[in-house]
C-alpha cells in the first residue's frame, strides 16, 4: 500500500512488380471485425477449432475470469456438469470454456478438476483477459469543516478503495483544487481483490476545496470529493 504524503508532495511541486499485359487483379475482399469490449478482452479463437467438451469431476469447482486462482470468480460448476471447451492457456493447465450458466459468457477452469473428451494440447492457446479496476470509491473525513478562523490549518483524511478483477500494476495520482498535482503512485495487485490508498490534505483557510484521484492504469478512471470549509470569527 502506498502512503505518500500528498500535501508535502504536492506543494514542494499520450508485390510491387511491373508486368506488361498482366491482368488486373480482382479487388480483395474487405475483412470484417467484431470488437470485444475491454472488460471481456479474452479473444475467442477464430481458426478451425478442435471440438471438445468437459465434465466436472469434483463436487463444486470455480470458473474464473482468467487462467489462475488470482483471477476473480465468475461462476461455479457442479459435479457432472458439462461445458464446451474453447481454448487453453500456454501451459495447458487451464481451459477456456463457454460458461454453462451464461450462454453469452466464457470463463476458465483448472484441468485438474475436470475430464475432457480429447487432447488438451490440440486446443488453440487463448490469451488471458485484460485486467481492469472494476470498482473505485473515494471518501474524505471530515467531509465538511466549520471552525474558528484562528484554528487553521486543518487536516482532512482521504481514503480510496480500489478493486480489480485480477493481478495487475495500478498507477494513480492526486490533483487538488489549489492547482497542484502529486507524483504518480503505484499499487501492486497480486490477485483480484480490494486495496486501500490513504492520504491526507491540509487546509489553509476557508474556501470550497476539492481533491480528485485519477486511476491511470490498467484503465482510466477518476473520482472527486468536495470539501466545503468555513470559519467563525
Residue 49: per-residue pLDDT: 55
Last residue within a domain, chosen from 87, 122, 157: 122
| Domain region containing 212 | 131-232
Task: Please check whether residues 110 and 139 belong to one and the same domain.
Answer: no
For range 152-171, the mean pLDDT: 97
Residue 85: per-residue pLDDT: 97
Task: Please check whether residues 103 and 188 belong to one and the same domain.
Answer: no
User: What total of structural domains would you count in the chain?
Assistant: 2
Task: Please check whether residues 82 and 102 belong to one and the same domain.
Answer: yes
90 within a domain of the structure (yes/no): yes
Per-residue pLDDT tens for 53-70?
999 999 999 999 999 999
Residue 31: per-residue pLDDT: 36
Task: Please check whether residues 115 and 199 belong to one and the same domain.
Answer: no
Task: Please check whether residues 97 and 148 belong to one and the same domain.
Answer: no
Task: Please check whether residues 142 and 206 belong to one and the same domain.
Answer: yes
pTM (2 decimals)?
Answer: 0.76
Residue 51: per-residue pLDDT: 81
Task: Please check whether residues 54 and 113 belong to one and the same domain.
Answer: yes
| Secondary structure, 3-state, the chain | CCCCCHHHHHHCCCCCCCCCCCCCCCCCCCCCCCCCCHHHCCCCCCCCCCCEEEEECCCEEEEECCCCCCCCEEEEEECCCEEEEEEECCCCCEEEEECCCCCCCEEEEEHHHEEECCCHHHCCECCCCCCCEEEEEEEEECCCEEEECCCCCEEEEEEEEEEECCCEEEEEEEEECCCCECCCEEEEECCCEEEEEEEEEEECCCEEEEEEEEEEECCCEEEEEEEEEEEEC
Tell me the percentage of the chain whose pLDDT exceeds 90: 76
Per-residue pLDDT tens for 58-101?
999 999 999 999 999 999 999 999 999 999 999 999 999 999 99
Per-residue pLDDT tens for 179-223?
989 999 999 999 999 999 999 999 999 999 999 999 999 999 999
Amino acid at each position: 500500500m502506498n502512503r505518500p504524503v500528498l500535501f508535502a508532495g504536492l506543494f514542494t511541486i499520450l508485390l510491387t512488380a511491373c508486368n506488361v499485359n498482366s491482368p488486373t487483379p480482382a479487388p480483395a475482399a474487405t475483412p470484417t471485425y467484431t470488437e470485444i469490449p475491454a472488460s471481456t478482452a479474452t479473444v475467442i479463437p477464430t481458426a478451425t477449432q478442435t471440438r471438445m467438451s468437459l465434465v466436472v469431476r469434483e463436487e463444486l469447482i470455480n470458473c474464473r475470469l482468467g487462467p489462475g486462482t488470482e483471477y476473480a470468480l465468475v461462476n461455479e460448476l457442479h459435479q457432472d456438469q458439462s461445458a464446451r471447451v474453447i481454448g487453453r492457456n500456454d501451459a495447458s493447465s487451464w481451459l477456456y470454456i463457454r460458461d454453462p450458466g451464461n450462454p453469452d459468457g466464457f470463463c476458465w477452469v483448472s484441468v485438474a478438476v475436470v475430464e475432457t473428451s480429447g487432447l488438451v494440447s490440440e486446443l488453440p492457446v487463448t490469451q488471458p483477459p485484460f485486467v481492469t479496476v472494476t470498482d473505485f470509491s473515494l471518501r474524505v473525513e471530515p467531509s465538511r469543516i466549520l471552525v474558528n478562523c484562528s484554528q487553521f490549518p486543518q487536516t482532512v483524511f482521504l481514503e480510496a478503495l480500489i478493486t480489480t478483477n485480477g493481478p495487475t500494476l495500478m498507477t494513480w495520482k492526486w490533483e487538488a483544487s489549489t492547482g497542484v498535482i502529486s507524483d504518480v503512485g503505484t499499487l501492486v495487485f497480486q490477485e483480484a481483490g480490494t486495496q486501500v490508498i490513504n492520504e491526507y490534505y491540509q487546509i489553509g483557510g476557508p474556501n470550497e476545496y476539492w481533491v480528485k484521484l485519477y486511476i491511470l492504469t490498467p484503465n482510466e478512471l477518476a473520482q472527486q470529493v468536495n470539501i466545503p470549509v468555513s470559519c467563525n470569527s
